[in-house]
């Protein structure tokens, strides 16, 4: 067997090599065995595994795995942009009707509106995932500012960052997972980072208490869904303690950012745009963050 080292791409033999991971670190247990700390390539999962359970993946398999993930991502992007084009046409029709009611408008003025989507502050415990998410926000034209911040540091920094950036939507994510020897799903100590996400949500709500003022997505793979919602998250993972995709927070955020402030959305309506679906993410009804501006400027 090839020597496995940090940075390698591996899969777990005991799980039929279903998920590819990057090896983040190797540790030696008290018994003298080697354990690898793993982070998912496409899911927000942190896990550990005995080194003998891991199989190094050849370059062609990694390429195939990444290609399949890109295909899923691009399919979601296409569906979102198609949906948004239809919604935009309806929204601009509403804007034209408002203008006509206020005063007669000539044909050139009609349609001279611009969109102001909700602004996002995204704190992520994984720098590579953050870069991927920022690229996705750019593709979807969602104004977003991203900061790499380890999960256990987010609670201590979120108040200051909210005051500095004044976003409409806050994302608190990174990696999570159930601790191997823990079995109590209701105990925060059974999760690697859920307690850090809960603390960060609570700290954010001290500054911005209401869901309509600040929408919060919090959590990662297998996170303590109920505790996150109780702490004040608007959307959270994971209702059935399943793995969530790296882009699930982005797709939820996009739907909120580009839905009119006049519309209140049910969670199911928002979650249908995600890769994981309702097993992985859930939340409460919320008003959209999109505003129409008028008139647009030629400059």
**How many structural domains does the chain have?**
2
Q: Say if 84 falls within a structural domain.
A: no
Q: Say if 73 falls within a structural domain.
A: no
Q: What is the DSSP string of 8-21?
A: -EEEEGGGTT-SEE
The CA-based angle 42-22-235, given to 5 degrees, is 35
Of 209, 255, 201, 254, nearest to 230 by C-alpha is 201
Q: Rounded to an integer, what distance in angstroms lies between the CA atom of residue 113 and that of residue 94?
A: 11
What CATH number has the domain bearing residue 244? 3.40.50.280
Are 226 and 273 members of one domain?
Answer: yes
Q: Rounded to an integer, what distance in angstroms lies between the CA atom of residue 90 and that of residue 9?
A: 46
Are 259 and 216 members of one domain?
Answer: yes
Are 115 and 240 members of one domain?
Answer: yes
Q: Which residue has the tokens 């990444």?
A: 66
Q: Say if 71 falls within a structural domain.
A: no
Are 41 and 183 members of one domain?
Answer: no
Are 95 and 46 members of one domain?
Answer: no
Domain that holds residue 244: 89-293
Query: What global pTM score does this model have?
Result: 0.86
Are 50 and 128 members of one domain?
Answer: no
Are 46 and 120 members of one domain?
Answer: no
Cβ atoms of 112 and 294 closer than 8 Å: yes
Q: What was the pLDDT predicted at 112?
A: 78
How far CA 189 is from CA of 81, 126, 200, 234, in Å, comes to 40, 21, 16, 22
**φ, ψ for residue 285 (rounded to 5)?**
-65, 150
Q: Around Cβ 165, how many Cβ atoms within 10 Å?
A: 13
Q: What was the pLDDT predicted at 100?
A: 47
Are 32 and 157 members of one domain?
Answer: no
Are 104 and 235 members of one domain?
Answer: yes
Are 47 and 101 members of one domain?
Answer: no
Q: Say if 17 falls within a structural domain.
A: yes
Q: Say if 81 falls within a structural domain.
A: no
Are 110 and 244 members of one domain?
Answer: yes
State the DSSP code for 153.
G
Q: Say if 299 falls within a structural domain.
A: no
Are 100 and 157 members of one domain?
Answer: yes
Strand partners, 172: 123, 218
Query: Residue ranges of the chain with pLDDT lower than 50?
Result: 1, 100, 103-110
Q: Could you report the per-residue pLDDT of 124-161, keeping only the tens digit for each?
A: 999 989 999 999 999 999 999 999 999 999 999 999 99
Q: Could you report the per-residue pLDDT of 11-41, keeping only the tens digit for each?
A: 999 999 999 999 999 988 777 788 998 988 8
Q: Say if 69 falls within a structural domain.
A: no
Q: What was the pLDDT predicted at 92?
A: 65
Q: Say if 162 falls within a structural domain.
A: yes
């Amino acid at each position: 067997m090839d020597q496995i080292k940090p940075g390698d791409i591996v899969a777990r033999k005991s799980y039929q090599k279903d998920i590819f991971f990057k090896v983040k670190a190797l540790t030696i247990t008290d018994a003298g065995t080697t354990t690898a700390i793993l982070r998912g390539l496409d899911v927000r999962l942190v896990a550990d595994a005995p080194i003998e359970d891991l199989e190094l993946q050849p370059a062609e398999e990694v390429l195939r795995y990444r290609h399949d993930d890109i295909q899923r991502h691009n399919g979601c992007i296409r569906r979102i942009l198609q949906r948004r084009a239809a919604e935009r046409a309806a929204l601009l029709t509403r804007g034209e009707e408002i203008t006509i009611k206020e005063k007669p408008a000539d044909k050139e003025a009609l349609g001279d509106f611009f969109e102001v989507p909700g602004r996002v502050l995204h704190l992520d415990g994984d720098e590579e995932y953050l870069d991927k998410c920022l690229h996705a926000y750019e593709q979807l034209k969602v104004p977003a500012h991203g900061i790499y911040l380890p999960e256990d540091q987010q609670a201590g920094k979120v108040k200051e960052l909210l005051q500095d950036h004044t976003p409409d939507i806050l994302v608190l994510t990174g990696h999570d997972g159930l601790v191997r020897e823990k079995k109590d799903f209701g105990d925060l100590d059974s999760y690697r980072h859920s307690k850090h996400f809960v603390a960060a949500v609570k700290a954010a709500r001290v500054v911005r208490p209401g869901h309509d003022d600040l929408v919060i997505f919090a959590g990662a793979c297998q996170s303590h869904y109920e505790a996150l919602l109780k702490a004040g998250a608007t959307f959270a993972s994971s209702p059935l303690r399943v793995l969530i995709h790296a882009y699930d927070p982005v797709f939820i955020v996009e739907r909120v950012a580009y839905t009119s402030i006049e519309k209140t959305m049910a969670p199911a309506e928002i979650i249908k745009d995600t890769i994981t679906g309702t097993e992985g993410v859930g939340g409460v009804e919320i008003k959209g963050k999109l505003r129409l501006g008028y008139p647009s400027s030629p400059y």
